[in-house]
Amino acid sequence: MTQQNWFFKKDGHQHGPVPAKELKQLADAGRIEADDLVRNESTEKWVRAKSVKGLIRVEPTAGPPPLPKKASQPEPVVAAANPTLLEKLKSSASEIADATKNAGVVAARQAEMARIKTVDLPRAYSKLGEEIRRQAKFRSDFPDIHQRIDGIEKKHTSIQDAANSISVEEGVSGKAKSLARKAKLKAEEGTLRVQKSQAVKDLGESAFQLHGKAAGESSLVSQIETLQSRVNEIVTEIETHEDSASSSFLRPKRLVLVGAACVGLLLMYIAISTFSSTGDSTADSSKLREGVANYAALFSDKQQGKPIENHVGKTVVVSGVSFAKGEHESGSQISIECQDGMVAMCRFKAPDAWKGDRRQFSIAGTFSEVFIRGQFVLTDCQIVDLSSLKPEAQTPPPLANAIELATQVGTTLETPRWIEQKYNPSIKDLKGHKTDTSIVLDFDVETSMWMEANWLLPLVINLYDADGGFITRFETDERFTVDQSFHVQCRQAYESDIRRGIPNGIAAKNNSSLLKSSGNRLEYQVSYGVLRDTAVVQIGFYQSK
């Protein structure tokens, strides 16, 4: 019997390759029988196992036949048995149990390794980087990283000074404007914190790779070494469990496919837990019924095959054009592929939130510095199923960052107010003016939110009466399309009481349309008849916060 790798056929299935020693062990254990087919890797010819020298154990020659029994002792009746079938069943059960056990170990180790690489190691590198910054070490070794951190800290100080210098103006309008400016600065400050965190982590990691134990305080370096050592141990354990089952058709790799999905969900959970301060993951049942939930998403550039590193801290809003859904015990997982080549993997709470027209699915969030399996995590996100909203659930959250606009809506209102809901900082400079037949809303869109791609943006305007009661909502039929030159195009927008089931006799002529687009400025028109009794207008990209 040659010392090569061997293949064997059992119950119609091919197994292997396995080493000759292991093939012999299988034969000795009865797992390979004399008439089973085998072949070594150097030939394509299958032969009976009994024809391979040294493979099948030859039973010793039988002794002399027993003496004939006495006539008074009748031959016992023995029922026909099929021990081979029983052995196969036991063997299969044992094989499945062993493979399942190995698969469970492999999946658990993969999950542990994922957490170390995505949470524990980045945190340890950050601590080392913070110490290096405090001691002003290695500036000549890593000038680019130090300069990046210096620039971020300078911007941070500038923003803090600007925020402290804002004085609260008198009147409702003045207070609202002051709050809006402070909110904008706070958002910019949060972005800088994310960027600095990434840079400090990079500094710690680079210093450890270059200087090893001399990179910093022994306790910090020791923690990194321990984590890296554990990763190596896990890799060895995984390989060991896979090798131990190499003779089995049901290998851990086959059974771990389901486990890999669980590991993916764990990664999402890690991302959500890590950023619980930026994303509210406690959405109540009413939000879930509205189709809104918070999640962590992984984004990568499908066409380039690499993460979009220069987008950390930037906001992105996309609408999916195709998707695939997978259920798990506490929610769902969805993969959204967008027309611009972006792919998002999302984990969210509501198992039934994604029913209906797939074109209505939208997501929004901010790129973080966390890097998981070749992709960046998207934080403080929302997912919205526009088609699932019901009339009674259409009222948005309480107004925030209100901006009073001195606009005369109609003669029936003495002091009309239009209040802008800042769903997304990308909308600014909202103005309104009356024409003979319409109210025109003119506002700017911050171009940076679109970055270099074509983003699909459904737009919504919520209308309220003078007492704050919700009247109705306009939204684009499907979406705005903004191309690389930031030229805005809009399909026919609509609002139909009958189709949407809005009660209380709101006029069926509700409609809206894009009057003009120039650069990134939108001029959006709604029927004056709808607005004549309206004191409050909310405007914003619907899927944004």
**pLDDT tens, position by position, 367-377:** 555 544 444 45
**Cα angle, residue 149 at apex, residues 144 and 152 outer, rounded to 5°:** 125
% of the chain exceeding 70 in pLDDT: 33
Comparing 436 with 115, the larger pLDDT belongs to 115
| Alpha carbon separation from 497 to 37, 254, 358, 476, 500 (Å, rounded) | 73, 53, 23, 15, 5
In this prediction, residues 265-289 reach a mean pLDDT of 29
Q: Give the global pTM.
A: 0.34
pLDDT in tens, 74-101: 443 333 334 444 454 445 445 545 555 5
**158's tokens:** 């500038």
Gap between the Cα atoms of 89 and 370, Å rounded:
48
Gap between the Cα atoms of 177 and 161, Å rounded:
18
CB 456 within 8 A of CB 318: yes
Instruction: Write down the pLDDT at residue 436.
Output: 47
Please name the helix (run of DSSP H) or strand (run of DSSP E) that holds residue 518, with its range, or none: strand 512-518
Buried b (16+ CB within 10 A) or exposed e, 350-370: beebbeeebbbbbbbbbbbbb
**65's tokens:** 């036949």
| Alpha carbon separation from 485 to 197, 430, 438 (Å, rounded) | 32, 22, 29
Gap between the Cα atoms of 503 and 497, Å rounded:
7
Which has the closest alpha carbon to 36: 71, 7, 8, 59?
A: 8
Whose tokens are 């909110």? That residue is: 183
Per-residue pLDDT band at 276 (split at 50, 70, 90): very low
Please name the helix (run of DSSP H) or strand (run of DSSP E) that holds residue 5, with its range, or none: strand 5-10
Strand partners, 376: 299, 371
User: Which of the 8 DSSP states describes residue 165?
Assistant: H
In this prediction, residues 343-364 reach a mean pLDDT of 43
Strand order in the sheet with 331-337: 315-319, 361-372, 375-385, 296-301, 342-348, 331-337, 322-328
Comparing 294 with 3, the larger pLDDT belongs to 3
Amino acid identity at 469: G
Among the ranges given (163-167, 182-186, 224-228, 347-351), the one the predictor scored with the smallest mean pLDDT: 347-351
Among the ranges given (32-41, 150-159, 222-231, 449-458), the one the predictor scored with the smallest mean pLDDT: 449-458
Is residue 487 predicted with pLDDT exceeding 80?
A: no
Instruction: Write down the pLDDT at residue 20.
Output: 84
Q: What dihedral angle (degrees, nearest 10) is formed by the CA atoms of 323, 328, 332, 335?
A: -30
How long, in residues, is the chain?
A: 545
CB 406 within 8 A of CB 396: no
Comparing 196 with 253, the larger pLDDT belongs to 196
Question: Within 10 Å of residue 56's Cβ, how many Cβ atoms?
Answer: 20
Q: What dihedral angle (degrees, nearest 10) is formed by the CA atoms of 423, 424, 427, 432?
A: 10
Please name the helix (run of DSSP H) or strand (run of DSSP E) that holds residue 365, with its range, or none: strand 361-372
